[in-house]
C-alpha cells in the first residue's frame, strides 16, 4: 500500500522491514538543496575539457589538436568525464537512498554509504525524551529545511536528521505520535493494575472498579470513525446473549430465602400485655 508523504505530498512505497500493523506517517529524503554542491561539481568537471580546447585554439596552439597529441588530449578528457560521472552517480545513490521514516511505532533512519554499504537504525517512539528542530541561516529559512534532533532515554545515542524538509512538521509529528503511544501504554497499565486489585479484593463492587478505571484513564478524543449507535447496538446484543445463556441456570437455581414457618399458622393474634409460652405444644 502506498501512503502519502506529509512533506512532499507524493506517494511513498513501503520500506524493507516494515511491520504489517504499522503505518508510515512520514517518508522523507534530504532536501534537494543538499545536492546542489554535487551539481556544481559536475558542471565544473564537464566544463574543463571544452575550456581547455578553447584556450588552446585561442592562443594558437593548434599543434595539440593534430596527430598523437590529439589522441592523448582526447584520452585525458574522457578520463575526466568518466571520473566525474562515477562520482556523481555515487553521490546521487547516497542522496536517493538516504531516507528517514516515521511510522506509528518507531523512527527509522537509513544511511547509504557508498555503493555497497548501508546503515539502518531504528528507535521506538516510546523511548523519546525530547525533539527539537533547527533552521540556521537565511538559506535554510528560505527553502524550509533544517536539522531534527531526537533525544533518547538512557545511553542510546541521539538521532540527528540533517537537511530535512519542513523540520518543524517532522518534529511535531514525532511528538504527537509519542504522546499517543504514551497515553495508550498508560491506559493499559491502569486497567491491568485495577483488575489485579479487583481480583485480590472481591468485596469491591464491579461498578466501583469500572468507575475507578475510567477516572484514571487519560482523556482523549474519540476516533473520527467512532459510531455511538453501533457501539450501543453491539452492547445490547451482548447483553441479550448473556441473558439467554444465564436464563436456564437462573431458573434451576433455588431462591435464596428461608422456608415458611407453619408452627404459628393456627395461633390467634396476640394482644398487648398477653403472656405466651415458647414451648412447642
Supply the angle between the helices 206-216 and 167-200 in degrees, to the nearest 10: 160
User: Which tens digit of pLDDT belongs to each residue from 199-221?
Assistant: 665 555 555 655 565 555 555 55
Compute the distance between CA of residue 271 and CA of residue 269 in angstroms, rounded to an integer.
7
Percentage of the chain surpassing pLDDT 90?
17
Q: Rank 50-64, 102-116, 225-239, 246-260 by mean pLDDT and report only the highest.
A: 102-116
Supply the angle between the helices 36-59 and 67-97 in degrees, to the nearest 10: 170
pTM, two decimals, is 0.56
Q: What is the mean pLDDT of residues 158-180?
A: 89
Q: What is the pLDDT of residue 147?
A: 92
Q: What is the mean pLDDT of residues 141-159?
A: 86
Q: What is the pLDDT of residue 180?
A: 86
Taking 60 as the threshold, does the pLDDT of residue 39 lie above it?
yes
Sign, CA torsion 3/4/6/10: positive
Window from 32-46, 70-84, 228-242, 255-269 with minimum mean pLDDT? 255-269
Compute the distance between CA of residue 141 and CA of residue 119 in angstroms, rounded to an integer.
29
Taking 50 as the threshold, does the pLDDT of residue 274 lie above it?
yes
Amino acid at each position: 500500500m502506498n501512503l502519502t508523504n506529509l512533506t512532499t505530498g507524493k506517494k511513498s512505497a513501503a520500506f524493507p522491514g516494515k511491520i504489517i500493523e504499522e503505518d508510515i506517517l512520514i517518508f522523507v529524503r534530504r532536501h534537494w538543496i543538499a545536492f546542489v554542491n554535487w551539481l556544481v561539481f559536475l558542471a565544473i568537471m564537464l566544463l574543463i575539457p571544452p575550456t581547455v580546447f578553447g584556450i588552446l585554439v585561442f592562443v594558437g596552439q593548434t599543434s595539440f589538436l593534430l596527430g598523437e597529441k590529439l589522441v592523448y588530449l582526447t584520452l585525458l578528457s574522457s578520463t575526466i568525464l568518466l571520473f566525474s560521472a562515477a562520482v556523481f552517480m555515487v553521490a546521487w545513490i547516497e542522496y536517493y537512498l538516504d531516507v528517514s521514516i516515521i511510522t506509528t511505532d518507531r523512527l527509522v533512519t537509513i544511511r547509504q554509504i557508498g555503493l555497497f554499504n548501508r546503515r539502518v537504525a531504528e528507535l521506538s517512539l516510546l523511548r523519546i525524551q525530547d525533539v527539537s528542530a533547527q533552521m540556521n541561516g537565511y538559506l535554510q529559512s528560505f527553502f524550509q529545511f533544517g536539522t531534527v534532533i531526537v533525544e533518547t532515554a538512557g545511553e542510546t545515542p541521539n538521532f540527528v536528521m540533517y537537511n530535512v524538509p519542513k523540520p518543524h512538521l517532522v518534529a511535531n509529528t514525532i511528538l504527537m505520535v509519542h504522546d499517543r503511544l504514551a497515553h495508550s501504554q498508560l491506559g493499559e497499565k491502569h486497567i491491568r493494575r485495577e483488575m489485579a486489585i479487583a481480583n485480590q479484593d472481591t468485596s469491591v463492587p464491579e461498578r466501583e472498579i469500572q468507575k475507578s478505571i475510567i477516572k484514571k484513564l487519560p482523556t482523549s478524543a474519540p476516533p473520527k470513525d467512532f459510531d455511538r449507535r453501533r457501539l450501543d447496538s453491539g452492547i445490547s446484543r451482548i447483553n441479550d446473549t448473556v441473558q439467554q445463556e444465564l436464563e436456564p441456570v437462573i431458573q434451576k437455581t433455588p431462591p435464596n430465602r428461608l422456608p415458611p414457618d407453619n408452627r404459628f399458622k393456627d395461633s390467634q393474634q396476640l394482644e398487648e400485655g398477653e403472656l405466651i409460652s415458647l414451648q412447642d405444644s
